[in-house]
Amino acid sequence: MTEPAPSHSMRFAVAGAALLAIAGGAAFYFASQANQGSKQEAGDFYEVTVTAKACEPNALTVPAGKRSFRILNSSDRPVEWEILDGVMVVEERENIAPGFKSTMTARLVPGEYEITCGLLSNPRGTLTVTPSEEAETASGPSLRALLGPLSEYKVYVALQSAEMVAGAEALAAAIDEGDLEKAQALYVPARLPYKRLEQLAYRFADLENAIDPVADYLEKREADAAFTGYHRIEYGLFQEQSLEGLAPVADKLVADVTTLKDRLRSMKPSTAMLTDSGATIAEQLAHGRIEAGENRYAHTDLDDIAANVEGIRKTTDVLKPVLEPHAPQVAAEIDAALQQVTAELDALKTQDGFVSYDEVDAKTREKLSQSFQSLAAALQKLTDAIQVSS
């Protein structure tokens, strides 16, 4: 089965639920969360409008618990909207097209947060989460059962982090040596470990902005001083075909991925690390990234996407022993969805690797996006399947 029915029905269910939510302002929530007994009340959407310069309102106060936000992009660029706790991303919604709305839900604990509003240079807003009586305990597989999978994943993260640093160092060395061809060859290997880790790494907003900003999000695009990291190097290597000015960028990248490695190492393990991060990245791919592409100059997006899939697959692999006894259908659905995206990616392979992304037509991209949406939908069920009382 290459096109799993459950994914479809899920998507329809989701769409239906969303319609309901829009229509009645009522609990779309209940549709997708029937067994959770959520206390989300009707109309409990916090509306936020992102303008070219700021959020409106720029300060939000919500009670703790699961909260839903509806974000309207009234600027003329695609924006992302994030809730930040210090430098940590609590939840984010990427690629909200101009004039479109997006909804997002986060489980929030009391505290002070920041919200991003469009361009990175725009001032951030505030989100205050006040204590509430909502209990958030649930029953499911024991926390203990997740110790093994989580530690396995931690090991993977450690190994990939080491590879990421080594890759960046090798790339920087090639740039230092003035070897353009070698540097070009090392760009993809240097980037892949980062993409495998992206589902965790993207949460470090400061580092993500330094390591992986796309020119589109910057005011002066390629000319912007904040244009650093992988894509800046990619731009030099593949667009300008020159190493000029890249040495300090590469050194900075080495420093930044080293910091990222340390942050990932000290990241507190949580079940969400396994149940949520894969869905997030699949969702990001499905909604905009596949369509637009990120590597505008090297056109190596298929390598990126394949690495993202590897990262996702690691989480589902380690979860398998916990998931299969509790939710065999979810496990099967995820397997099928992963097979589907893998098959579609494999179809874009030649003997020398993936085809250049500019040769991938819009229709293929759309199909791939849909498959990732199915994957995201399947992965999203992990959260329900693995409800842990901590």
By CB under 8 A, name the binding residues for other proteins. Answer: 10, 14-15, 17-18, 21, 28-29, 31-33, 36, 40, 66, 68, 85-86, 88-91, 93, 102-109, 111, 136, 142-144, 146-155, 158, 203, 267-273, 275-276, 279-280, 283, 287, 318, 321, 376-377, 380, 383-384, 390
Q: Of the two residues 171 and 201, which places its CB atom closer to other proteins in the complex?
A: 201
Q: How far is the CB of 388 from other proteins (least distance, A)?
A: 9
100 or 220: CB nearest other proteins:
100
Amino acid in position 174: A
Pick 232 or 263: Cβ nearer other proteins: 263
Least distance CB 97 / other proteins (angstroms): 11
Q: Which residue, 33 or 356, is less far from other proteins as judged by CB?
A: 33
Query: To the nearest whole angstrom, how small is the minimum distance from the Cβ of residue 345 to other proteins?
Result: 23
Return the number of the residue (33 or 51) whose C-beta is nearest other proteins: 33
First to last CA, the chain: 36
Distance, C-alpha 196 to centroid of its chain: 11
φ/ψ of residue 241, rounded to 5? 55, 45
Identity of the residue, 113 or 354, whose beta carbon is nearer to other proteins in the bound complex: 113
What's the closest the beta carbon of residue 284 comes to other proteins, in angstroms?
11
Return the CA Rg of the chain.
21
DSSP per-residue string spanning 25-49: S--HHHHH-GGGT--PPTT-EEEEE
**Least distance to other proteins from the beta carbon of 233, Å?**
28
286-282-73 Cα angle (round to 5): 50
What span, in angstroms and rounded, lies between the C-alpha atoms of 179 and 319?
A: 43
CA distances from 78 to 97, 98, 192, 294 (A): 4, 5, 26, 14
CB of 34 to other proteins, least distance (A): 11
CB of 64 to other proteins, least distance (A): 9
Token pair 């984010």 is found at: 92
Strand pairing report for 101-108 and 65-73: antiparallel
Pick 18 or 345: Cβ nearer other proteins = 18
Cβ closer to other proteins: 272 or 345?
272
CA dihedral 64, 209, 212, 108 (to 10 degrees): 0
DSSP for residue 269: P
Taking the complex as a whole, the smallest distance from the CB of residue 234 to other proteins amounts, in Å, to: 28
Sort 59 into a burial class: Cβ within 10 Å, 0-12 / 13-18 / 19+.
Answer: exposed
Q: Is 133 exposed, middle or buried, given 0-12, 13-18 or 19+ CB atoms closer than 10 A?
A: exposed
SS3 91: strand
Overall residue count recorded for the chain in this entry: 390
